[in-house]
Amino acid sequence: MKHPILRISIYLLLVNFIWQCSSGKEDAFEEVEAEIEEAQLPSCVDYESVDQDDLSTYWNLFVEDVICSRGGPDYGTLNEQVLVRFVVQTPEQLASGVTPDHAGFSTFIGYCNNSVVDISVIRDYWEDYSAVQQLWLMYHEFGHDVYRYEHSSDPADIMWPSVPRSDVRINDFIQAKNRFFRRDFDGVSYIQCPSLD
């Protein structure tokens, strides 16, 4: 044997490593599982490119997403007027104890007019949402305003009438968004607008 001390040292290190792994096996596996993140599904846009304080960045992302995911149309060009804004409740509204049952809303002016997008988001609610919940909310409102979608009866759909739980993942959003763009979700139905003739 040329290097008996080296072999003994390696052997002892190996035994020590195995012993430490076996004694804290469950903790070690839990730590590894916590560190391993689910790989994000493919997407042609960067969902982290938005600015949570500037709702127009969500509109720009949506427009880009439609173009690169579906090949268009270019809603940025088709919609001549885009109003996406925060609404802050007044002290009187807060003191009344009556809270809105929705975090965002589109209006008749937007969803019944192909050249206008008109969406408001209640700032107090928005600030409590995760980044994925914020994406979900904005795409939901664009669904009303751009596609004229009514609400869905499936909580996994973007058009479900409530924002999903805070543990919703980006992959849940991407899967729902893909069905949303394909108009491929159960019970898809459309807002009926009066004829403007």
pLDDT digit string, tens, across residues 158-182: 999 999 999 999 999 999 999 999 9
pLDDT digit string, tens, across residues 138-162: 999 999 999 999 999 999 999 999 9
User: Could you tell me if 78 and 114 are in contact, meaning their C-beta atoms sit under 8 angstroms apart?
Assistant: yes
> Which residues are 105's β-sheet partners?
120
DSSP 8-state assignment for residue 114: T
pLDDT digit string, tens, across residues 77-104: 999 999 999 998 777 766 666 666 688 9
Residue 59 pLDDT grade (very low, low, confident, very high; cuts 50, 70, 90):
very high
Residue (of 111, 107, 117, 112) closest to 80 by Cα position: 117
Domains in the chain, CATH or no CATH each? 50-89+102-182 (3.30.2010)
Give me the amino acid identity at 56.
S
Strands in the chain per DSSP E: 81-87, 104-106, 116-122
